[in-house]
């Protein structure tokens, strides 16, 4: 027994050593990558270092978000260590641990999912690295694990969409049948937009959601679900899609069913990415509640304040608006994403 | 009497009997929920209806699963098919998006050729890793499963490439003789593969490599070359599926195209009766498996099953299919039902064997 115990420990030691070497190698790569001559990691040259872990590059919206963060970091003189989690929580946790090991000044990340962050956030807290959440929230009960959360208010976006519909259909005599394309099941924007929309349309009992399914925030998903909605429900008056991409996919299904999007079926979406704005300007969509990805400047500002030890509000909202067809025509030429 | 019973037993013990029963049951459940589910009408000169949607949307999965069947027949597995589909779709869409005239047939043919070429290279890479270097297939193709997704995003620069090309769109949503063009392509490829493997010795050679690669080599079969070949064929099938998926929505999304399709394809192959251990493959079964999986997905939307429970619903159906399909499980069930008094004996003998 004792003998096996020793071999086990030895093997364990070897494994630990190997992991240590690997991690060291990775950290080294990170340093040489950013071209800094500081060997002590983080803030050797006095520049504020931010580690940012992005969800992925799943949409045009996300890419605009990434670009905004990268550009405003350069503009604000902040050294950015950027990581793409490719939509996987385990990648993101790995990236956060790397940032902690590299002793960055501030960690910011856009969580892939809402739950399961307590352990790694605790590690960051123990290392005295402040964490800023961007765009998506986490459901940790302990609010001291992160400094602040900057991002859109998804409930408000759903509400704005619903309120516009209530006004638009105020004179409708009979029932108005609504179908809903939800985002990825369990994702915060899907849950919150659904909630906000439901709250707003409760103002008019004629407005009824007859079917609601997940289209996974993708065009293919939106199209596939809409095809079945159209067959299952002979009378659809309104489509509410949780993002532009699902709405764009649904457009094709509606056209294939011989209906005219924007006229036979009123289409409301959230996001306002370029392709969506184009559809709105072309009269295929009817209303978009904006979810602005351009939170880079606000984020850099917050990071500096947090580093300086200033008090920051626990919740910072991104500046956003809504678009009708006319507004889209006017805004389209200057659209960045 | 006895011949009728024997024939009935022959039908029920056919490996496609139970998957087909579940497929029919799903369709019946849909028809009960909404009678118009089974109706097919003629709209704008082509067929329109939920059944047509199922057939059209299962086309990419059928293709991917075909390639997967051959790979699994050699005892391997190809996890990279989803990523290959994404890369092929991204290459084709990128090329089209950069041309001044996106509606030119020449442009689309060049784009498809480019995407196909890249996919063949990726398939050859898998083949070299598995057949040449001898890496475990699951590991070798895992490399491309991860790296390929990155490659697709790199090609698209992290954006969704939106195109507006009539001829390319035909691959995904076009029609031929009122039928969706996608399913025509899928059936044509299925027939081609079936003829090449079942009307020649190729299919048997593939199975022999899967049964015992070394023994087949000693018997005079170039087993390495066969193994290399199936990975290239698998990538080629995945590429066509990638064109269909991107043409379906006229855009290439490096992140979403073909995501998890490798798992659906493996499932389709298994439902079709092909064993993961290799040595046998059934193309017809694979097609039925793919149709069953797509019917399951479409049913969730058509019956408006709550998204939170839809995954569980799918899982339960898949488990039921796999269990009732297994002869061992059915035999056990039957024995228990017919001889309910003496189930103790076999259990006892089993237990006795454990310590020995």
B293 burial level (CB within 10 Å; 0-12, 13-18, 19+): buried
Residue B335 within any structural domain of the chain: no
Query: What pLDDT is stored for residue B339 in this prediction?
Result: 55
User: Angle A83-A89-A94 (CA atoms, 0-180°, nearest 5)?
Assistant: 55
Does A56 contact B36 at a Cβ distance shorter than 8 Å? Answer: no
CATH code for the domain in which residue B152 is found:
1.10.3470
Tell me the whole-structure pTM to 2 decimals: 0.80
Q: Does B27 touch chain A (CB under 8 A)?
A: no
What distance in Å separates the CA atoms of residue B172 and residue A306, rounded to the nearest whole number? 51
Residue B330 within any structural domain of the chain: no
Are β-strands A79-84 and A49-54 bridged in parallel, bridged antiparallel, or unpaired? parallel
Q: Which residue has the tokens 């919150």?
A: A192
Cα within 13 Å of Cα(B6), Cβ side: 3
Residue B343 within any structural domain of the chain: no
What distance in Å separates the CA atoms of residue B179 and residue B53, rounded to the nearest whole number? 11
Residue B195 within any structural domain of the chain: yes
Structure tokens at A33: 């990558």
Does B245 contact A232 at a Cβ distance shorter than 8 Å? Answer: no
Query: What pLDDT is stored for residue A264 in this prediction?
Result: 94
Domains of chain A, start order: 44-152+293-319 (3.40.50.2300), 154-291 (3.40.50.2300)
Query: What pLDDT is stored for residue B61 in this prediction?
Result: 96
Chain B residue numbers with beta carbons less than 8 Å from the beta carbon of A58 are 253, 255-256
> Phi then psi for A207, rounded to 5 degrees?
-80, 120
Nearest C-alpha in B relative to A86:
B255
Report chain A residues touching chain B, CB-CB < 8 A.
56-60, 62-63, 66, 86-87, 182, 185-186, 211-214, 216, 218-221, 223-225, 227-229, 231-232, 245, 248-249, 252, 256-258, 275
Min Cα–Cα distance to chain B from A257, Å: 8
Q: Which of B44, B257, B307 sits opposite A258 (nearest CB)?
A: B44
Of A215, A202, A199, whose CA–CA distance to A154 is shortest? A199
What distance in Å separates the CA atoms of residue B233 and residue B67, rounded to the nearest whole number? 6
What distance in Å separates the CA atoms of residue A5 and residue A269, rounded to the nearest whole number? 61
User: Could you say which residues of chain B have pLDDT below 70?
Assistant: 1-2, 336-356
Does B307 contact A275 at a Cβ distance shorter than 8 Å? Answer: no
Consecutive sets of 10 residues in chain A, 337 residues long: mean pLDDT of each? 42 44 37 37 67 82 87 92 88 93 92 87 92 86 87 91 93 90 87 94 92 92 94 92 94 92 94 90 94 89 89 87 91 80
What distance in Å separates the CA atoms of residue A164 and residue B280, rounded to the nearest whole number? 59
Contact present, A211 and A243 (Cβ < 8 Å)? no
Tens-place pLDDT, residues B179-226: 889 999 999 999 999 999 999 999 999 998 988 888 988 888 888 999
Q: Does B17 touch chain A (CB under 8 A)?
A: no
Q: How many CB atoms sit inside 10 A of residue B351's CB?
A: 9
Q: Does B245 touch chain A (CB under 8 A)?
A: yes
Does B307 contact A182 at a Cβ distance shorter than 8 Å? Answer: yes
Q: Does B264 touch chain A (CB under 8 A)?
A: no
Chain A residue numbers with beta carbons less than 8 Å from the beta carbon of B257 are 220
What distance in Å separates the CA atoms of residue B148 and residue A228, rounded to the nearest whole number? 32
Structure tokens at A330: 């006017």
Contact present, A55 and A217 (Cβ < 8 Å)? no
Query: What pLDDT is stored for residue A334 in this prediction?
Result: 79
What distance in Å separates the CA atoms of residue B119 and residue B112, rounded to the nearest whole number? 10
Min Cα–Cα distance to chain B from A85, Å: 11
Residue B134 within any structural domain of the chain: yes
Query: What is the DSSP secondary-structure string of B50-68?
Result: HHHHHHHHHHHHHHHHHHH
What distance in Å separates the CA atoms of residue A335 and residue A272, rounded to the nearest whole number? 9
Residue B5 within any structural domain of the chain: no
Query: What pLDDT is stored for residue A27 in this prediction?
Result: 35
**Sign of the torsion angle spanned by Cα atoms B35, B310, B51, B53:** positive
Count of domains forming chain B: 1
Min Cα–Cα distance to chain B from A233, Å: 10
CB-defined contacts A:B, below 8 A: 91
Query: What pLDDT is stored for residue A40 in this prediction?
Result: 41
Q: Which of A63, A232, A245 sits opposite B302 (nearest CB)?
A: A232
Does B308 contact A216 at a Cβ distance shorter than 8 Å? Answer: no
Kindly provide the b/e burial profile for residues B267-290, where b requires at least 16 CB atoms within 10 angstroms of the residue's own CB. bbbbbbbbeeebbbbbbebbbbbb
- A133 pairs with which residues across the strands? A109, A149
Min Cα–Cα distance to chain B from A151, Å: 21
Query: What pLDDT is stored for residue B227 in this prediction?
Result: 93
Nearest C-alpha in A relative to B247:
A220
Does B256 contact A58 at a Cβ distance shorter than 8 Å? Answer: yes
Cα within 13 Å of Cα(A225), Cβ side: 31
Query: What pLDDT is stored for residue B107 in this prediction?
Result: 92
Residues of the domain holding B246? 16-27+44-325
Residue B152 within any structural domain of the chain: yes
Query: What pLDDT is stored for residue B340 in this prediction?
Result: 52
How large is the C-alpha radius of gyration of chain B? 22
Residue B33 within any structural domain of the chain: no
Query: Complex ipTM, two decimals?
Result: 0.84
């Amino acid at each position: 027994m004792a003998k096996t115990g020793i071999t086990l420990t030895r093997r364990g030691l070897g494994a630990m050593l190997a992991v240590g070497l690997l991690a060291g190698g990775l950290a080294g790569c990170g340093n040489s990558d950013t071209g800094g001559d500081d060997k002590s990691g983080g803030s050797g040259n006095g520049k504020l270092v931010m580690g940012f872990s992005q969800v992925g590059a799943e949409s045009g919206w996300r890419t605009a978000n990434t670009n905004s963060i990268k550009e405003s970091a350069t503009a604000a003189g902040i050294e950015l260590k950027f990581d793409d989690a490719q939509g996987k929580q385990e990648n993101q946790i790995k990236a956060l641990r790397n940032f902690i090991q590299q002793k960055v000044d501030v960690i910011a990340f856009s969580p892939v999912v809402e739950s399961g962050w307590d352990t790694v956030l605790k590690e960051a807290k123990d290392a005295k690295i402040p964490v800023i959440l961007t765009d998506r929230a986490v459901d940790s009960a302990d609010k001291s694990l992160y400094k602040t959360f900057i991002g859109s208010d998804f409930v408000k976006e759903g509400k704005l969409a619903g309120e516009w519909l209530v006004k638009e259909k105020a004179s409708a005599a009979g029932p108005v049948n609504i179908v809903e394309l939800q985002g990825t099941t369990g994702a915060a924007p899907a849950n919150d937009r659904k909630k906000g929309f439901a709250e707003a349309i409760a103002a008019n009992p004629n407005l009824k959601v007859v079917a609601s399914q997940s289209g996974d925030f993708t065009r293919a998903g939106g199209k596939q679900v809409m095809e079945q909605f159209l067959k299952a429900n002979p009378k659809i008056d309104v489509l509410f899609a949780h993002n532009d991409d699902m709405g764009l996919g649904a457009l094709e299904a509606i056209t294939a069913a011989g209906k005219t999007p924007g006229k036979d079926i009123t289409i409301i979406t959230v996001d306002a990415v370029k392709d969506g704005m184009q559809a709105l300007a072309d009269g295929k969509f009817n209303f978009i509640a904006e979810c602005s990805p351009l939170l880079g400047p606000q984020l850099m500002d917050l990071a500096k304040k947090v580093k300086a030890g200033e008090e920051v509000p626990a919740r910072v909202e991104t500046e956003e608006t809504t678009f009708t067809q006319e507004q889209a025509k006017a805004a389209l030429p200057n659209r960045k994403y | 009497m006895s011949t009728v019973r024997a024939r009935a037993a022959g039908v029920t013990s056919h490996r496609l009997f139970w998957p087909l029963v579940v497929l029919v049951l799903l369709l019946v459940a849909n028809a009960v929920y909404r009678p118009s589910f089974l109706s097919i009408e003629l709209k704008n000169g082509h067929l329109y209806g939920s059944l047509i949607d199922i057939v059209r949307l299962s086309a990419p999965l059928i293709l991917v699963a075909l390639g997967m069947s051959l790979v699994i027949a050699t005892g391997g597995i190809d996890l990279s098919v989803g990523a290959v589909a994404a890369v092929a779709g991204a290459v084709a869409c990128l090329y089209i998006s950069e041309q001044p005239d996106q509606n030119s047939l020449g442009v689309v043919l060049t784009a498809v050729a480019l995407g196909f070429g890249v996919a063949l290279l990726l398939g050859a890479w898998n083949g070299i890793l598995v057949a040449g270097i001898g890496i475990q297939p699951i590991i070798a193709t895992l490399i491309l499963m991860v790296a390929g997704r990155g490659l697709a995003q790199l090609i698209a620069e992290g954006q969704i490439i939106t195109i507006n090309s009539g001829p390319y769109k035909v691959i995904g949503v076009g029609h031929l003789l009122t039928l969706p063009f996608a399913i025509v392509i899928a059936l044509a490829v299925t027939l081609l593969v079936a003829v090449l493997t079942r009307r020649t010795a190729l299919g048997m050679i593939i199975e022999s490599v899967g049964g015992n690669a070394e023994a087949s080599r000693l018997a005079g079969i170039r087993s390495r070359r066969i193994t290399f070949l199936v990975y290239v064929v698998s990538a080629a099938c995945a590429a066509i599926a990638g064109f269909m998926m991107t043409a379906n929505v006229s855009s290439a999304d490096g992140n979403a195209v073909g995501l998890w399709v490798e798992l659906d394809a493996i499932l389709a192959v298994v439902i079709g009766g092909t064993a993961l251990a290799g040595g046998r493959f059934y193309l017809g079964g694979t097609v039925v498996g793919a149709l069953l999986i797509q019917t399951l997905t479409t049913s969730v939307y058509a019956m408006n099953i709550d998204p939170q429970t839809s995954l569980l619903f799918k899982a339960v159906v898949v488990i039921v299919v796999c269990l009732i399909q297994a002869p061992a499980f059915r035999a056990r069930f039957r024995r228990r039902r017919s001889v309910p008094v003496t189930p103790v004996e076999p259990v006892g003998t089993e237990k006795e064997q454990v310590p020995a």
